[in-house]
Amino acid sequence: MVLLEPERHTLTIYPSEILEGALYQGSASQASDYRIIKNLHITHVVNATANCPDAFPNMLCYLQLRLSDDAQQDLVEALPLASRFINTALKAEPAGRVLVHCSMGRSRSSALTLAFLMEHQRWSLLHALRWLKERRACTAPNVNFLRQLLTYEDNHRLIFGFVWWVGGCTSKNIKKIPKFLLRLCLIFCFTFCLIWMYILISSSVFPKWSVQPNH
């Protein structure tokens, strides 16, 4: 992270660096500070607040989600939307830098960052949460968000072939995902064909018998 003078000594006012030179998480006040945006070379912002306007709409690319930090907020659409937005920005040419923020940078922004780490880093929720806590100590998604993140994790476990590791997924396992899924599909198709052939053969060899009434 390259900082301009004389801002180097004020590092504590900066958002937390989650992925080096790529992904940051912070508060609404940090997201509206031009010095921070300039020094970190932020290009994209995920705004998870319901009442904080986008600070630099003519300069940055924003995703405004308008979420509430409560027990009723549904994240079913927000999690994949934010994850896709972040991934697209980081894989752009040239690569972008993303700041995810809510009011305090604790709950809503944490939930969105965790979803991205789980989906695109192929990490379990536990591993992603540990990683995020190490880099941003105030990380504290509410119970409702954690419950939905667990569901999000379960859905992605099916997609990625049950290759999750304790506390995360190793790069070695990631390379095995395509072969594993291919074998799983072949086994499923083979089993389905056997069942279908059995049904066809059974229906032809053992035709249905009808009971004739007595006269």
What's the alpha-carbon Rg for the chain, to the nearest Å?
25
Residue type at position 213: P
How many angstroms separate the CA atoms of 110 and 25, rounded? Answer: 8
How many angstroms separate the CA atoms of 24 and 36, rounded? Answer: 11
For residue 136, give the 3-state DSSP assignment. coil
Smallest CA-to-CA distance from 157 within 209, 118, 189 is with 118
Distance, C-alpha 7 to centroid of its chain: 32
Task: Using alpha carbons, list the distances in angstroms from residue 104 to 16, 45, 206.
Answer: 12, 15, 71
Written as six digits, the tokens of 47 are 């705004």
What is the set of active-site residues?
A: 102
Task: Using alpha carbons, list the distances in angstroms from residue 81 to 5, 33, 64, 65.
Answer: 36, 25, 10, 9
Beta strands in 113-168 (DSSP E): none
Sign of CA dihedral 66, 72, 74, 75: positive
